Amino acid sequence: MAPDDRETFRENTMRIAAGIIFAGTVSLLTSSAAWSQTPPAAKSAAPGAPQAAAAPQAAPAPAPVAVKQPPQPARAACTNPNALGVGRTVEIDTTGGPGFGFEHFKTLDFLRDKEVVLTFDDGPWPVNTPAVLKALAEECTTGIFFTIGKHATYYPEILKQVYAAGHTVGTHTWSHQALVNKKLNEEQRKEEIEKGFAAVKWALGGVSPAPFFRFPALQHPPEMVTYLGERNIAMFSCDLDSFDFKARNAQQVIDTVMRKVDKLGKGIILMHDFHKHTGEAVPELLKRLKAGGYKVVAMRAKEPVQVIAKYEEEVIKDLKLPTVSSRPVSSVVTTVSE
């Protein structure tokens, strides 16, 4: 989708508070690489943010069946003594579809004062995603990549680099359609979600990503929130939006993020590895976060997502479609002389 379309779309739409389902248990476990921690601090809700709607009670989610696959490669050993690094790694049990990010989900306040989670949407994309990867590697830190299924099929090698570098890979639909769009029926909405996961699994050479999902434009149709709960997929809104897709240059991205994070004191930061200015901003932004005393929290899934075979078949079918044109023969070949 063209950036302009998305921008217009995002500006013209209201973000909808979502129901939250917690049929299962969410556990946040501190694991390795936990050095230099700070005590938790109370956080106030973002002013003006809509309250989450009363959650429809879902039937208890079925216990997830473990997906067997090799463990993800670890991040490379850090050779930069002044790096931002990773302050803490948390493991997320996604049973029941927990929601994260105070813009919409207000239950799980797990970040401590001065802790941030870096998230990057809409990739993988040439130049910009590699620029983000390089900056993260130089600062020995990490983020979550909410990838678009179609983009993953265009650039599987870039997505493989994201995974191989030890970052968390989540998804962001198959084709970035707004799932609140009334023109879509329920099956089409599910297909957007499920084909996104299936395409990312395909792009990673059969490795299932994390059951981490972000709705396009942070618009949460309640029935899809319920569906994700039943699928044991965690939903990610954000605590602060960089609005990098509107920024005129890298400096604006840096200034917006630092102003907002200094105000909130912590949070899940929404950026786009799809955008040029973000790729350019991240090196300096990471230095500013380090100088400001912030610590990056790595979020890992306890289990990979269970991809549904039917949608894997659909993605593979799509990949074999003619890539250039689906115009009818009559519009392509015209007899001009006989």
Kindly state the smallest distance separating residue 120's Cβ from Zn ion, in Å: 10
Give the residue with the Cβ less far from Zn ion, 112 or 151.
151
According to the binding rule CB under 5 A, does residue 122 interact with Zn ion?
Answer: yes
What is the distance between the alpha carbons of residues 322 and 324, in angstroms, rounded to a whole number?
6
Could you tell me the two tokens for 102? 């105070």
What is the distance between the alpha carbons of residues 328 and 325, in angstroms, rounded to a whole number?
9
Could you tell me the two tokens for 239? 């605590």
Instruction: Count other C-beta atoms under 10 Å from residue 108's C-beta.
Output: 17
Kindly state the smallest distance separating residue 272's Cβ from Zn ion, in Å: 7
Write out the binding residues for Zn ion, residues 130-159 only, by CB under 5 A: none
Kindly state the smallest distance separating residue 331's Cβ from Zn ion, in Å: 33
Q: Give the number of residues in contact with Zn ion, rule: CB under 5 A.
A: 2
Query: Which span sits near Zn ion by CB under 5 A: 42-50, 115-123, 132-140, 197-205?
Result: 115-123
Kindly state the smallest distance separating residue 16's Cβ from Zn ion, in Å: 16
Give the residue with the Cβ less far from Zn ion, 122 or 273.
122
According to the binding rule CB under 5 A, does residue 121 interact with Zn ion?
Answer: yes
Beta carbons of 143 and 86 less than 8 angstroms apart: no
Give the residue with the Cβ less far from Zn ion, 122 or 303.
122
Could you tell me the two tokens for 238? 């954000």
According to the binding rule CB under 5 A, does residue 244 interact with Zn ion?
Answer: no
Beta carbons of 124 and 332 less than 8 angstroms apart: no
According to the binding rule CB under 5 A, does residue 280 interact with Zn ion?
Answer: no
Give the residue with the Cβ less far from Zn ion, 103 or 122.
122
Helix 276-291 to helix 250-264 angle (10° resolution) is 40
Contacts of 237 (CB under 8 A, 6+ apart): 18, 99, 100, 101, 102, 103, 104, 105, 214, 218, 220, 268
Kindly state the smallest distance separating residue 332's Cβ from Zn ion, in Å: 34
Give rounded-to-5 percent helix, strand, coil for the chain. 35, 15, 55
Query: Which span sits near Zn ion by CB under 5 A: 116-124, 135-143, 243-251, 292-300?
Result: 116-124
Kindly state the smallest distance separating residue 1's Cβ from Zn ion, in Å: 8
Give the residue with the Cβ less far from Zn ion, 122 or 139.
122
Residues that bind Zn ion (CB under 5 A): 121-122
